[in-house]
Amino acid sequence: MRSFSEIDTTAKRASKAAGFSWGMAEEIGKSIRSLELFGLPGILNLNNYLKKIKQKHPKKIEKIEKENKTIDSESDKELCPIYSGVAFLDRCLELEKLKSIKFYNVSHPLLMLPFISRASEIMSKKILVQYDNTSFLLNFDKSIFSKNIDKQAQSLANVVSIEFI
């Protein structure tokens, strides 16, 4: 059994080694710690995602719109859950006006959850996140209620829907 501090530190170091900046690595460490704290497979998802991007580091998302898709180039078919999650967190107060947001072709979508959960606390709103047959109710970064979650890593979600409640 690893402590949450060990999880945080290991996730930071692995993320930095994978090409993320130190600031992003700090955010990733906190997010993986949060997932594990809520009993979700954060380490498994991060490990699989970092292996996936080993050869080609993902691009940052420029701006979050009501509907977010990848550039139609062969090399960037999937959205990065980390860059998308951080962008969502950074702009959460302005995104609230949209009422609902969709992300298409998100790699390892579970990795977005802790960023959206922290946004829930900042906005003082519950947020419903759904992809495939899985749904999460994020409650002010205090709890994550899930329905139909597979405890394994899901490598791709065709559509991630986010709704402000």
Average pLDDT for the chain: 89
Return d(Cα 25, Cα 110) in angstroms, integer: 17
Return d(Cα 155, Cα 31) in angstroms, integer: 18
The secondary element (H helix, E strand) that includes residue 143 is strand 143-147
Q: What is the pLDDT of residues 17-48, one digit of tens each?
A: 999 999 999 999 999 999 999 889 999 999 99
| Residue with more model confidence, 72 or 20 | 20
Q: Which pLDDT score, from 0 to 100, does residue 146 have?
A: 80
Q: What is the pLDDT of residues 75-92, one digit of tens each?
A: 568 999 999 999 999 999
What are 79's two structure tokens?
Answer: 């959205």
Distances (CA, A) of 139 to 1, 72, 114: 27, 35, 11
Whether 69 shows a pLDDT value over 60: the answer reads: yes
CB atoms within 10 A of CB 115: 25
What are 98's two structure tokens?
Answer: 């949209």
Model confidence at 140, in pLDDT bands (50, 70, 90)? confident
